[in-house]
Amino acid sequence: MMNIQVWTFQRRIREAVGKVLFLRDIGSPRGYRTNGKERQDGNDMVLKEFEATIQKKKYGYYVRLPWKKDSADLPDNKAMSFRRLQTIVAKLQKNPELMQQYHNTFMNQL
């Protein structure tokens, strides 16, 4: 049992270190195998992109992720969501007790 715990702990450490290296070197075209100058150039590129794309909106600031270029707008799913809501309401109207439970849950969360 001790061997399993040590192995799991070592695996978690490797995963955590991998995440740190990935986050440290975003924007570096060659990954973590960069020298100081290449890393600084990558950091400068990310900073320029950040400064060029930052926007102040009603609820805060918005900025593009440095590795996402010109992402397409997501389609509007309002009609599909509304149809799903209608289906759920129709099912709940057939079972008043369940509808009351849903109502109580929503009221508790508000």
Task: Specify the higher pLDDT residue, 4 or 67.
Answer: 67
Residue whose C-alpha is closest to residue 63's, from 72, 52, 53, 73: 53
3-state SS assignment for residue 60: strand
Confidence of residue 9 (pLDDT cuts 50, 70, 90): low
> Is the Cβ–Cβ distance between 25 and 18 less than 8 Å?
no
- What pTM does this model have? 0.35
Q: Residue 29: is its pLDDT beyond 60?
A: no
Q: Residue 102: is its pLDDT beyond 70?
A: yes
Confidence of residue 104 (pLDDT cuts 50, 70, 90): very high
Q: Tell me, what amino acid is at 14?
A: R
| Domain positions in the chain | 2-62, 78-109
Confidence of residue 20 (pLDDT cuts 50, 70, 90): low
